[in-house]
């Protein structure tokens, strides 16, 4: 099977090519405010769709609001088959820094309802095709938050439901209330964490969306990956993404960039062919996790 060029069915009925795009980098510093060059950001989004991207990941807190607005401005009316996945459940109080992510969690009904209404308006859609809980709120049981998501789905405001940064136990608690279509956890060649979650997703037809697939850009510069990549006429970023595509048929990729050139490079990872030996070589590398 050619696992590089295939499609994943989100929730069993929503097909997307497994090479998507993460839009978070199209914001100001610290994921706060609009990007410095909005016309460049719109160009990146348009080029992504032109090159066949069918899944774009965003969130209400990217900006906040600016990222979803830019997606609408660049791409509305949306191409048939384009899926925009957004997220709610976080509140941002300022730019993110290493010392202070500037975020708190809120999984209450009042917050999630208001967040969905705002995302619907900013994205210019009547229904959000994939709505993800950005983080589990420690003060609100996940079952309670999932009941709100279930009601929003019954009301037709959201279609499929996803989770982010969750354990297998949390996924199982959520699934006791409502179907879970995707899980978005940190995962990359240098951060091979959540292997148990990935295996669980494979067993249960859940899409696994690794965030920071390039380790925030560090893998694009990786000397460890460079020689194998060069032997396959690929860049380290492409080899790192191709490894993820081969790692599991449930993986949907959302590499982020604010540059058309990097976008084109990353999307070309779809046609990088890695052998079984290449996969084993990459698996055996010990690359420092830059988080």
Ligand X SMILES: NC(=O)c1ccc[n+]([C@@H]2O[C@H](COP(=O)([O-])OP(=O)(O)OC[C@H]3O[C@@H](n4cnc5c(N)ncnc54)[C@H](OP(=O)(O)O)[C@@H]3O)[C@@H](O)[C@H]2O)c1
Return the residues of window 215-234 that contact ligand X according to CB under 6 A.
215-217, 220
Residue among 207 and 213 whose Cβ is closer to ligand X:
213
Cα distances (angstroms) measured from residue 38 to each of 46, 71, 74, 122: 12, 11, 10, 16
Distance in angstroms (rounded) separating the CA atoms of residues 32 and 68: 13
Q: Is 140 in the site for ligand X (CB under 6 A)?
A: no
Q: Is 258 in the site for ligand X (CB under 6 A)?
A: yes
Of 74, 107, 256, 274, which one interacts with ligand X (CB under 6 A)? 256
Residue among 68 and 265 whose Cβ is closer to ligand X:
265
> Which residue has its beta carbon closest to ligand X?
256
The dihedrals phi and psi of 146, each to the nearest 5 degrees, come to -70, -30
Distance in angstroms (rounded) separating the CA atoms of residues 82 and 40: 20
Q: Are strands 55-57 and 21-22 parallel, antiparallel or unpaired?
A: parallel
- Applying CB under 6 A, the span of 34-42, 76-84, 120-128, 214-222 interacting with ligand X comes to 214-222
Element (H, E) at 154: helix 142-154
Closest distance to ligand X from the beta carbon of 234 (Å): 11
**In sequence order, which ranges of 12-64 are alpha helices (DSSP H)?**
38-50
Task: Identify the CA nearest to 218 among candidates 198, 233, 240.
Answer: 240
Residue among 140 and 190 whose Cβ is closer to ligand X:
190
Active site residue 131: no
How deeply is 275 buried, as exposed, middle or buried, from its count of CB atoms within 10 A (0-12, 13-18, 19+)? exposed
Task: Identify the CA nearest to 253 among candidates 7, 4, 18, 17.
Answer: 18
- Applying CB under 6 A, the span of 7-15, 109-117, 251-259, 272-280 interacting with ligand X comes to 251-259
Distance in angstroms (rounded) separating the CA atoms of residues 271 and 171: 33
Q: Is 119 in the site for ligand X (CB under 6 A)?
A: no
Q: Is 212 in the site for ligand X (CB under 6 A)?
A: yes
Return the residues of window 25-64 that contact ligand X according to CB under 6 A.
25, 57
**Number of chain positions touching ligand X (CB under 6 A):** 27
Active-site choice (62, 131, 187, 200): 62
Return the residues of window 151-170 that contact ligand X according to CB under 6 A.
164-165
Radius of gyration of the chain (CA): 18
Residues in contact with ligand X by the rule CB under 6 A:
22-25, 57, 134, 164-165, 184, 211-217, 220, 237, 254-259, 262, 265-266
Please give the positions annotated as active site. 62
């Amino acid at each position: 099977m050619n696992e590089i060029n295939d499609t994943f069915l989100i929730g069993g009925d929503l097909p997307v090519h497994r090479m998507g795009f993460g839009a978070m980098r199209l914001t100001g510093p610290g994921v706060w405010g609009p990007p410095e060059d909005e016309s460049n950001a719109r160009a990146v989004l348009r080029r992504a769709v032109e090159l066949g991207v069918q899944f774009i990941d965003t969130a209400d807190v990217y900006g906040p609001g600016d990222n979803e607005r830019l997606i609408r401005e660049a791409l509305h009316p949306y191409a048939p088959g384009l899926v925009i996945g957004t997220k709610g459940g976080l509140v941002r109080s300022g730019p993110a820094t290493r010392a202070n992510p500037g975020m708190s969690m809120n999984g209450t009904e009042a917050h999630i309802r208001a967040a969905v209404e705002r995302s619907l308006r900013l994205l210019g859609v009547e229904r959000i095709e994939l709505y993800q809980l950005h983080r589990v709120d420690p003060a609100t049981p996940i079952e309670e938050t999932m009941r709100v998501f279930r009601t929003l789905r019954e009301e037709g405001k959201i279609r499929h439901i996803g989770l982010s940064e969750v354990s297998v136990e949390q996924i199982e608690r959520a699934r006791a209330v409502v179907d879970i279509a995707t899980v978005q956890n940190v995962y990359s060649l240098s951060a091979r964490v959540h292997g148990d979650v990935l295996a669980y997703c494979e067993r249960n037809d859940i899409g696994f969306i690794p965030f920071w697939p390039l380790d925030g850009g560090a893998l694009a510069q990786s000397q460890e990956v460079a020689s194998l990549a060069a032997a396959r006429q690929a860049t380290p970023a492409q080899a790192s993404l191709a490894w993820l595509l081969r790692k599991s048929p449930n993986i949907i990729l959302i590499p982020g960039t604010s540059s058309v050139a990097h976008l084109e490079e990353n999307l070309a990872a779809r046609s990088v062919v890695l052998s079984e030996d290449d996969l084993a070589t990459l698996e055996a590398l010990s690359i420092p996790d830059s988080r």
